[in-house]
Structure formats: structure tokens, C-alpha cells
A and B are shown apart, each in its own frame.
Chain A
Amino acid sequence: MKAVSPKEAQHPRLTLGRTTSVPELVVKIVFLGIVCGFAVSLIPVLIGLKSWTMLAVLCVSVACILIIYTTKRHVPAKYLFPGTFMLVLFVLIPVIYTVAISATNYGDGTRGTQEEAVASIVENSVERQENKPSYTMSVARGTDHGRLVLYLVDEKTGKIYRGTQQGLTPVSRADVTVSDGKVTAVGGQRVLNALEIDKQGDSLSRLSVPVNKDKGIYIHPSGISEAYTGQSRLIYDKAKDTITDRQTGTVYRPRKFGDRYYYADSAGRKVSEQSWLSNVGWDNYTRLFRDESVRGQLFSTFLWTLFFAIFSVFGTFLCGLLIALLFDEPRMAGRKFWRSLMVIPYAVPTFIGFLIWSTFFNKDFGIINQVLGVGIDWFGDPTLAKIAVCTANLWAGIPYMFLISTGALQSLPTDVVEAARIDGAGPFRLFFQIKMPLLLISVAPLLVSSFAFNFNNYNAIALMTKGGPFASSGEIFGGTDILISGIYRMAFGGSGAQFGLAAAVSVILFLITAVLGGIQFGISNKFEDIR
């Protein structure tokens, strides 16, 4: 099918495509209008927040939409764009971003930049200076993202200043309303009252107004209506990237402890526990492979993941196929009914199935222990827990395999099967030499995707065992942890997020998934003859 006639392809004109009917045209114009309006309204915000990546993504997307939907060319793209756009935005870009994160020490305590860390260290060392001016303070909300602004009245001279994180600027008396030596309104706008100020909490107490950064002089709020001048004990030298203690003369430089940087002196004493986000190169990967205990855990977890995936795919496929064959007998009564019953568990959301199975295996009141009359602690022993997880996953996977096997059996080419039967093939030969090969060809791609799915079947693990049991508290991976559930705990688990390390394991999993996928594509003949 030629989507565009050659004549049009040679002379693409800027039109609204082939749309001819009025309602379609209106829809198209409205859609493009919304896209452009949305983009135009977002650009200033993004520039304000300095989100250059998002700005680039936005501009490229809008450009693509305009190119694809305002010309007569690129017809396939008109249909591919929405799905591909989402795929790129929420699958591909996150994959790339994950790779980038894996080269950093991103995590709890290292979320900010080095600049922010230095500012916080220096500001935290401010000490009050009695001989310097003190102020009566009022707090107002600034125009940029509601950041706090201080209005300060010098208690001795009565001069008025406006103080922000950027610095101190004098304010003329005409612009503000002052009563009782305190600024009560700015340009007609009310300042915050005591209750509102109290609610600001940390964002106010951490605010300090630099007066002279080189000498480390800052104005600091004290309570809710006063501010004092203070001088920081620590001075940052940007050119040398050092922090110097004014009193002792100690010089602190960025030094690496583990995978984090801190400012520390030559003896290794840290000036603060404040660290920041930095690139660590391959450190996350070397940590995974160099550390003997981590490497061992990673390897055994990988083996278990592999076993779990293989068992799940072949176990469910075998059972599903056998059950499909069981009901593939035209002389049976009520076949439709049997098949309907088989499919019901498929319609039950997976999380319900796994949670119910986890109660079945409960040591104290689980139905399995009750029926068997034993008190086995299924989730306390790694092997038993693995059996429990495999059983539940088998149950969860069989209906799908049953469905596709039934479908495939029903659509086997009847002439081939019939010919073999007439040639005298018995039921077993008929199955193993005729039906099975035909069946496998048709379900192979589905087995591939099922394998990939089970390799990363977080649901089964998280809802059944949460990865446990754990041999000791220091273990990264538990007895039933597959790689992906271990990652989740590293990143979002209770004890300190280690996004960088989790991302490194994710990248390894991406590679494994890609390799496994590639191997199986190679095996599968299905892909030889894509039409």
C-alpha cells in the first residue's frame, strides 16, 4: 500500500494532511492548538527552574508533533507517534537515566549538589556578633515560588533592608508600612503573622542573608521577630575549593570516604556530615563484584532468579498445555463450562492471588499446615519459602498458558493433522510429531515474553515473602529474593536509600534481559518470516 502518492511526496506542502471533513479538521486544529499552548505556557516555568533536560524533551516533542501532523508526509508516523512517544518517555528515557544514575552515589544524604552542601556547612557555622547591628524582623512571601523574604529594621539607625538568600538590599521607607519599628506591610501586601511564621519552621531558621560572603558575614533570624548579624566560623574559598576555619586556621578539602565526599582536614576529620551528589564512575559496579560477600550473594540470587524464571515458564506451560489437551476432546460433555472455570483465576488480579497464597502458607493459621496437621514454618526456611513461591506462581501462571495453548490447538491447520491421521499416525505420534512442533512455533514468542516477565516477577516475591527469610541483618538479598526485589529494597527500603547501587544492579538486569531476549529471538524461527 502506498500511503502517499509520488506526486505529493515530491512536493510536500504545509497543510493539515488529508483531513477533509470539517469536524476532523476542527479536532486537529484544537489538538495542535492545545499542544502549542501547553508548550508555550511551560517554557518560562522550565527556564525559571533551569530544567534544561525537560525543556529539551518538551521542544523536541512539540517539534515532532508539528512535523508529523501538519504535513502530508510521514503517514506511518502519524499512527506510530502516540505509543512510541509514551514508550520513549516512560520506558526508554528512564532506562538511559538509570544507566546515568548507576555512575553516581545518589541516595539519602547525597541528594543535593556540592554548592548546596557548602552553603549549608558555612551557614551552619554562623556565630552571633554582639557589636554588629541587630534587626527587628518581618517575614513575607516573595514573588518567586513563594520563597521567604525578610524585611529588617536596624534597631539603632532605623534603616530598612530587604534580605533574601541572594543578599541585602536597602528599601526606601515609601515602599513599606512601618509601625512600632516593625515592617507590617510591603507595597500594600500583608506580611506573615506570628502563627504563619511559626509554621515555616526549618525553611526560616535555615535562611541566612549574606552580607559579605568573603568574610563570612550573614544575617540570621532569631525567633520570629528578630535577626542578628553573625560571622561564620568557616569560610569557603571557591577558587581553591577549600573550607577554612577562621579561628583555628584548619583547612578542609573534599575527601572521599567510601563512595561519598566530605570536607575533611589532612588528618581525615570531617568538618560536617554533609555530603553531596557526585560521580563515582564504576564504583557501584566494582562494589558489586569486588566485595566477596556481595558477589557471592549476587551470584546465588542470579541463579535462583534464573531457576525461578525457567521453572515458572516451563512448569506453567507444561501444566497449561496438558490441561488444554485434557479438555481438547470433542466427545466430552460441557467443554465450554470446564474451560470457563479454568479461566476464572486469570481474571483475578494477581496481587490478590499471591496474598491469599501467602496466608495459605502461614505458619500459625495457614490452611496448608492445618490440612497436613503440621506446624511447618514455610517462610522461615529458604528452601521451603522457595517452594511456596514457586507453587503460588505456578497457580498464577497456568490459566494464561492454558488459554494460549487452547487457542493454538484450536487453530492448528486441520488439513495437516487430518492428512497425518489418514496416513496412519497414532495419537502419540500425531501429538509429538505433528501437533507439538506446530504448536511450539506459534507459542514460542509468548514463551519468550513470559520468561522475561518471570525473570522480573516482583509481584510474586514481594507479596509472598518480601524476599525473606534473611540469614542475617547484613544480607542484601534474602532467601527468596530475585534480583528485582533486591533492587527495590536497596532503593526504597527502610534503611537509607541507595539509588546509585540499586541503579547499577538494574543496569546488570537490563543487560541480562537483553541477552536472554536476544538468545531466544535467535532460537525462535517465528522471527524469520515477519511479513
Chain B
Amino acid sequence: MTRTASTTSVRPNKTRPMKIRNGYEVPRGRAWWRHLGWRYIVGVIVIAFMLFPVLYVVSASVNPIGSVASGSLIPKSLTFDYYRQLLSGTRYPFMRWYGNTLLIGLVIALLEVLFSTMAAYAFSRMRWRGRRIGLFTVLLIQMFPQFLSSVALFIIMSEVGKVLPQFGLNTLAGYGLVLLGGTMGNVWLMKGYFDSIPRDIDEAAMIDGAGHFTIFWKILMPLVTPILAVNFLLTFIHVIGEYMLASVFLTDNKVKTLSIGLYGIIEGDQSGNLGLFCAGSILLCIPVVAIFLWLQKYITSGLAAGSVK
């Protein structure tokens, strides 16, 4: 926003001092309603629609009447019984699922960030035959969801399991390997960000005798940190919410992730287990939302820089 106050007409107000926000005069009276007031009203309605399910989950997780038949969003009394039940693991191996989810989310997101950054570096900074075709191919192949080949993946992984049992069906490692197939998904985003960094920087480093790895690791990596954060977070959220492949590959209680586990809880009794499900969801969401809001600045600018060229 580089518009300045000078471009808008500034009318001096005799009775009260002028109110300026972000370099613009805030109008009053009917002009306020015409320019701003309706925005607040519509904004509240929109936010209410978007946040309602979230608030509903929060409410149901502490509402002693497990089902929603009570009808009110604000519970009449509070209970933390669902959280206690989950954390103590009496009915479901919740902590195990939680651990599985965090483990697979962190490892996959880290590897994905590393691999896609490396690929983006090659696509952005090097000139080689087939580069354009390569970029198109990556984009096209990524449009095929892995889940469409779930039959083939299922057979492949069961064959792999015969040779390497620790990577077969019903193992977190095998499931993680399959997820790594989508690792090139954010290459376009990363490449866009790399492109926005002036090449003079690496050319100067090259003259100083830096090799391609030094330029990549020591010079460019620190400069692309915002997009790394964005990529990491997006992947992490995607992985911990991944339900489709997990439902094919993780059927044993010990290796389930939260998406499968929580689905099982609510499928068992949609009305009676709602409180448990919601409590589990909150426990899963808290760290994610916290990190998300913390990194939000990077996310908006990162996504914009990746898409807008």
C-alpha cells in the first residue's frame, strides 16, 4: 500500500479533529456507513459463518451433554471429561495416535521442504535442456491425485512389505514413503519465490569462488526462509489432515493417525461420541492454529510471491 493521503481529497472538519487511519481520512456520518459501516456488518456475518463450525467444536468438546441435542452453542455447564478420557487413553490409544500424527507430519513436512527447495533451486537458477518440459510435467503429474492409483499403491506396498516388512502395509514408514510422492507439489510456489531473489547475489558469490552447493545452502537458503516456513506449514497441515491414503494404508490401531482414529470415534456413534471427537479435534488443532497465526504474515506474502509473477 503505497497510496498516500495526498491522493485523496482531505476535507478539514471544523467541529472535531480529523481521524486518520493508514494514511487515509476516516469519513463520518452517512459517508462512514457508505464506505465503512456496511463492511463491518458484512464482515461480522461472513466471519460468523466461517467460524461457526470451529466454535461449535470448541463448545461440544466441553459440553457435558455429549450430543448436540441441547441445541445451544453456549454450554450450560463445563466439563473436561472428554479431554481426560482421551489423554488417559482408557477407551482409545489417543496419545499413540497423536504421536503418530505429529511424527509423520513433522518428518514428511521437513523432507518435502528440503526436496522441493532443492528442485526449485535447479528450476530457478540453472539452465538445462528440458527445464520447461520438466516444469510442465511436474505440474501435470501433480494433478493426478495419488489416491486415484490407490489400488496400485496398495499392491506395490504389500509387495514391498514382503521384502522390507518395516515399510509394508500398516506401517507408518510405508505410509510416509507414499506421501513423499507428492513432494514436488509445491515446487512452483518455491520456484516463484526463488525467481524473486536477484541473481546478482549468487553471481557475486560465484565470482568469489562459491560452488553451487555453497550458493544454495549458505546464500539462498537464508533468503528464502519465509517461503520455507509457508511450505512447511502447508505440508504439515495437509499431512496431519490426510485421510484418504491413511484409510487404505493404516488399519491397525497402533499405527493409526488422528484422522483415521477420530473418524473411527465419531463413526461409532455420531451423536454419543461427538464430545470425544470434538475434544480430540481441539487437541489436534491447538498447535496448528497457534503456529498458523504466528506465521500468518509469511503465509500471505509467501503465497502471493509464489503465485504472482
Partner-B contacts on A (CB < 8 A): 1, 3, 18-20, 24, 42, 45-46, 49, 51, 54, 75-80, 82-84, 86-87, 89-95, 97-98, 101, 323, 326-327, 329-333, 338-353, 355-360, 362, 364-367, 370, 395, 398-399, 403-404, 406-408, 410-411, 414, 418, 421, 442-443, 445-446, 448-449, 452-453, 456, 458-459, 462-463, 484, 487-488, 491-492, 499, 502-503, 506, 509-510, 513-514, 517, 521, 526-527, 530-531
Contacts and interface: CB of A to CB of B under 8 A. Distances in A.
A98 B285 contact: no
A443 B307 contact: yes
B301 interface: yes
Contacts of A342: 46-47, 50
A463 B119 contact: no
B162 A91 contact: no
- Shortest beta-carbon contacts, A-B, top 9: A90-B181, A407-B304, A349-B241, A94-B149, A97-B152, A79-B122, A347-B292, A83-B115, A330-B22
A104 to B, nearest CB: 11
Contact of B151 (A1, A491, A510, A521): A491
A212 to B, nearest CB: 32
B125 interface: yes
19 contacts: A1-B126, A80-B134, A87-B184, A91-B146, A94-B153, A95-B141, A332-B36, A343-B293, A344-B50, A347-B292, A349-B285, A352-B57, A358-B270, A418-B7, A491-B151, A499-B151, A502-B151, A517-B139, A530-B132
B249 to A, nearest CB: 11
Interface in B107-137: 114-116, 118-119, 121-122, 125-128, 131-132, 134-136
Contact of B56 (A46, A84, A356): A356
Contacts of B53: 345, 348, 353, 356-357, 360, 395
Given A349-B284, A421-B7, A517-B140, A76 B248 contact: no
A506 B149 contact: yes
B53 to A, nearest CB: 5
A453 B195 CA distance: 26
Interface string B172-198: 000001101111100110000001000
A531 B135 CA distance: 11
Contacts of A359: 68, 266, 270, 274
A484 B145 contact: yes
Interface string B283-307: 0110011001100100111011101
A463 B203 CA distance: 51
Nearest to B240: A349
B304 A75 contact: no
Given A80-B122, A351-B262, A359-B274, A341 B51 contact: yes
A514 B293 CA distance: 36
Interface in B270-290: 270-271, 274, 277-278, 281, 284-285, 288-289
A350 B259 CA distance: 9
A175 B263 CA distance: 57
> Does more than half of chain A's interface fall in helix, strand or loop, or is it mixed?
helix
B280 to A, nearest CB: 9
Contacts of A77: 122
Interface in B31-51: 35-36, 39-40, 42-43, 46-47, 49-51
Contacts of A510: 144, 148
A491 B304 CA distance: 40
Contacts of A327: 39, 43
A37 to B, nearest CB: 14
A101 B57 CA distance: 43
A87 B182 CA distance: 6
Contacts of A357: 53
Contacts of A362: 270-271
Given A18-B213, A79-B118, A349-B285, A355 B277 contact: yes
Contacts of A406: 300, 304
B142 interface: yes
B119 A79 contact: yes
A256 to B, nearest CB: 23
A58 to B, nearest CB: 9
Given A331-B27, A459-B244, 10 more contacts: A75-B122, A79-B216, A83-B118, A358-B270, A365-B68, A407-B304, A488-B147, A492-B150, A506-B148, A509-B148
Interface residues of B, number: 120
Contact of B39 (A89, A332, A448): A332
Contacts of A442: 307-309
Interface string B50-77: 1101101100000000011101000000
A93 B162 contact: no
> Does more than half of chain B's interface fall in helix, strand or loop, or is it mixed?
helix
Nearest to A422: B7
A346 B132 CA distance: 32
Contact of B43 (A94, A326, A458, A506): A326
Contact of B183 (A86, A333, A350): A86
Contacts of A92: 141
B156 interface: yes
B163 interface: yes
Given A330-B23, A442-B308, A355 B146 contact: no
Contacts of B288: 347-349
A168 B208 CA distance: 75
Contact of B180 (A90, A345, A403, A418): A90
A421 B2 CA distance: 14
A54 B158 CA distance: 12
Contacts of A98: 148-149, 151-152
Q: Which of B35, B180, B288 has the most CB of A within 10 A?
A: B180
B199 interface: yes
Q: Which of A3, A83, A87, A526 has the most CB of B within 10 A?
A: A83
Contacts of B147: 456, 458, 484, 488
B307 A445 contact: yes
Given A79-B118, A491-B150, A343 B284 contact: no
Contact of B296 (A332, A343, A348, A456): A343
B254 interface: no
A413 B138 CA distance: 29
Interface string B11-35: 0000000000111111100000001
A449 B281 CA distance: 28
A234 B199 CA distance: 77
